[in-house]
Structure 1
Amino acid sequence: MPYSPCEPTPHEWLPEIPNHWEVVRFSFFVSFQEGPGIMAVDFRDEGVPLLRIRNVQGRFVDPEGSNFLDPEMVQDRWAKYACQPGDLLISCSASTGLVSEVTDSARDSIAYTGLIRLWPQRSEIIPEYIRWIVVSDQFLTQISILQTGAAMQHYGPEHLGKMRITLPPPNEQKQIADFLDWKTGQIDALIAKKKQLIEKLQEQRSAVITQAVTKGLNPDAPMRDSGIPWLDSVPEAWNLTKLRFMFEFGRGLGITKANLLDSGIPCINYGEIHSKYGFEVIPETHDLKFVSEDYLESGAKSLLSYGDFVFADTSEDVEGSGNFSYLNSETPTFAGYHTVTAKPLEEYNPRYLAYLFDSPAFRHQIRKNISGVKVFSITQGLLKSCSAWLPEMDEQTEIVDYLDLKCGKMDRITLCCQSAIEKLTEYRAAIITAATTGKIDVRKVKLPTSV
């Protein structure tokens, strides 16, 4: 039920509020401080934890994996930045919307630049309410208007000083915070179950693919030692070779996001390979960007035909190293920035190769040889050195038909779970915004006594 009566506000992002609430400047009620810029030369192997974005991924700050600072240096230079239990840390770049509460485990730690420390400066606002305000749409909408930066969106204390928030009486703030703790806890539990199911399906999918592309479908087929330590035995009739003998390798277009258009020749870039269209890309149904037709002449070597492969040449994690897609379409499509192209020199079933490249047995070769620290590089030389094991064309087709049937069922369930997660996430955000803007009145909601 909504509050009644309500009164209008002059803010586009907030049409009305309960008439006993206020809209106030964030800076009048909440103190905030961005972490200092500290050079890597000041990092130590032990000492005072230096918190970064990876430490604020959950409800509470987790100092595990943080860098460290010399305690004496902290006392001399950065003592005013020391975090205290009850403080909140929010991300002000790259991952806006992250908020974590400081507990005793992170007492006196220092928040690095890119994180902003929050704490109440007046008794009219409570920390529990602040935590929900900073992840509500009323807050995030103002951030999207104020934040700056082209490559990476950013906001800071100067922006927070311009922001406004809703301010119910303190007792209602507590009721709202308790309600959201309870309600989002229910939603988060449902999301967690869906994610667990997806994880199990992915493990099952990997096992089915691995069995099919390393042992084949005939359990009575004679086997032989592959000569590859991590592969063990393969069917005797299969051919072992290297990718250097199977493909002509090249690079994608040397373009940037600025070269992408809304029409022209379809183009798949490394971002789509990692996030949307891994395994296969179908430009007729997949939402790709385009490049100018001028590249048909200047970038002809980067143009993909049916059955050609494109690998992302960088990955932010080991698991994503080796991510690829193959063009499952007759529509010519360009390989874009940060990609390596692989065009078959002979006739293969491209879908069999896709399943092979998707298998842990194949990916192991890439993951154990990649180079990099924060970003891992996948080079043409690395791909050329990888081994492949190939049955005859008829058997490739049989394996593809089998895996399409088996994996198709799992993929459909996974899509349903992902859709459910998306809807639950949207519902979660809507509940937070409704409760913190007065669209729903939670004062009479009966909560379990454990909340």
Structure 2
Amino acid sequence: MLDAGRAVDDLHTTLPYIRAANIQDEGLRLTDVNEMPFSAAEARRLDLREGDLLVVEGGAVGTCVVLDHDMPGWSFQKTINRLRPTNDWSTRYLAYVLRSYRDAGIIDLICNGSTISHLTAEKLRALRVPAVQPETQRTIADFLDRETAQIDALVSKQEEFIEFLRERRRAEIEVAVSEVLASGPRLKHVIRSVRQGWSPQCYSWPADGINSWAVLKAGAANGGVFRPTENKELPAEEAPRPEVVVRRGDLIVSRANTRDLVGSAAVVEGDFYRLMLSDKLYAFTLNEDQALPQFVAAVLGSRKWRDLVEMQATGASSSMVNISQSDIVNLPMTLPPVDEQRRILTHLDDQTAHIDSLIAKAQEHIAFAKERRAALITAAVAEQIDVRSARKAG
């Protein structure tokens, strides 16, 4: 039923290709375009077509998108499978089936193994799908297109609101640390120690970092807020490394990220006894007689230091650049006395508490909307709701 196509990497000509990161639940996001080499003969055979279903094999396993237009001359990364079903099957319907399986944990179950999860072409072919008539498939897909578009629009509005609130938060931080000079002593003079983690092959899902071992992702410090849930569970057969467990008060800094997020800094505010650093994160222990980690994190998030970090970052891809430990510890920073740092932080907490509360509520709305979206897809695919009646009512 399913024809899984794969990209190749012969030489002679370069063509644009779709990466796994370009495939998202919201659709195909070609924010940056990469090219790869092909032979002239292979280039002539490339024919991504409207209706093709692209499924991520590794990484964000099972994420998929249906192409809404032909893309002649384009190829796709080897961690993507192209599915081209027979005429009895709708790729839009199959995409919703895959999303329901992913939300229910079925994709993770069939991909579970001792190494990183992969949804290979063979595993895709082996998946059982409901025996639904073609007309019913189209009806279900039409219903879900309409209903999920409304939910996605609500989510988009909430995300815009969160970004507006974060801009306000950043503005408050800018004002609070405006007197700190980007000159003078280097940050290394207030650093007691530096640790960097590791990046073993992990499961795609998160763990609690308290009862189960997990490795933090690069985005755990994004936006100046420590996010312990941004992690991946460590497989049981992989020996943990207690020496790289995060500690309360650690200043976490992102070593590798997008250019606007690399160098993001946040402070660990709790105890996570089995939550480890990845190799994309540094953990700095500061001399708190001279520098409070929360204050340094606020300074590193301000525009002057963001500009310094982004200038130091290296890397050819806009999707991932790096900053070295040396560049971070040598950032200039004239810090006020600790008592003044504490006073500024207290004022900043007062100014941002309401903003943080609004952000948390908006995030709850988004989580609820996504849960509703997943439940709706599962119910429609399983024919637990009468989509024909719902379509007439709509």
Q: TM-score, normalised by structure 1?
A: 0.71
Aligned to 1:344: 286
Aligned to 2:192: 248
Q: Is the 8 A contact 1:179 1:447 kept in 2?
A: no
Aligned to 2:81: 116
**Of 373, 376, 382, which aligns to 1:431?**
376
**Of 325, 347, 350, which aligns to 1:405?**
350
Q: Is the 8 A contact 2:96 2:377 kept in 1?
A: yes
Describe the superposition over 1:44-90 as per-residue Cα deviations: whole angstroms up to 9, x where unpaired.
2xxx432222443366546664344678x34x236555212222222
Q: Report 1:1-400 matches (<5 A).
A: 27=1, 31-38=2-9, 44=14, 48-57=15-24, 61=28, 65-68=32-35, 73-74=39-40, 76-77=41-42, 79-104=44-69, 106-122=71-87, 124-137=88-101, 141-147=105-111, 150-215=114-179, 240-252=184-196, 270-271=216-217, 274-275=219-220, 279=224, 307-312=249-254, 314-328=255-269, 336-338=277-279, 339-345=281-287, 346-373=289-316, 375-400=320-345
Distance in 1 (alpha carbons) for counterparts of 2:241 and 2:64? 44
Deviation at 1:265, TM superposition (A): 11
Change (3 A) 1:66 1:35: farther
Instruction: Kindly report the root-mean-square deviation, in angstroms, between the aligned alpha carbons of the 2 structures.
Output: 4.1
The aligned amino acid for 2:99 is V
Deviation at 1:227, TM superposition (A): 7.5
Q: Is the 8 A contact 2:224 2:265 kept in 1?
A: yes
Q: TM-score, normalised by structure 2?
A: 0.80
Describe the superposition over 1:288-310 as per-residue Cα deviations: whole angstroms up to 9, x where unpaired.
999xxx989xx5xx788765534
The aligned amino acid for 1:316 is N
Distance in 2 (alpha carbons) for counterparts of 1:303 and 1:327? 11
Distance in 1 (alpha carbons) for counterparts of 2:67 and 2:230? 43
Larger Rg: 1
Deviation at 1:434, TM superposition (A): 0.5
Q: Is the 8 A contact 2:56 2:79 kept in 1?
A: yes
Tell me which moved more, 437-446 or 193-202.
437-446
Change (3 A) 1:157 1:317: same
Deviation at 1:368, TM superposition (A): 1.2
Distance in 1 (alpha carbons) for counterparts of 2:179 and 2:144? 51
Distance in 2 (alpha carbons) for counterparts of 1:279 and 1:166? 45
Distance in 2 (alpha carbons) for counterparts of 1:189 and 1:280? 26
The aligned amino acid for 2:373 is R
Distance in 1 (alpha carbons) for counterparts of 2:208 and 2:390? 49
Give % identity: 22
Distance in 1 (alpha carbons) for counterparts of 2:249 and 2:103? 47
Distance in 1 (alpha carbons) for counterparts of 2:285 and 2:103? 49
Deviation at 1:421, TM superposition (A): 1.0
Describe the superposition over 1:21-53 as per-residue Cα deviations: whole angstroms up to 9, x where unpaired.
xxxxxx3xxx322322315x5562xxx432222
Distance in 2 (alpha carbons) for counterparts of 1:425 and 1:198? 16
Describe the superposition over 1:117-146 as per-residue Cα deviations: whole angstroms up to 9, x where unpaired.
222313x33333233223222897443233
Aligned to 2:237: none
Describe the superposition over 1:235-269 as per-residue Cα deviations: whole angstroms up to 9, x where unpaired.
xxxxx4321222234324679589xx999999996
Q: Is the 8 A contact 2:241 2:276 kept in 1?
A: no
Distance in 2 (alpha carbons) for counterparts of 1:185 and 1:169? 24
User: What residue ranges of structure 2 are gaps of 5+ in the alignment?
Assistant: 235-239
User: What residue ranges of structure 1 are gaps of 5+ in the alignment?
Assistant: 1-26, 217-225, 229-239
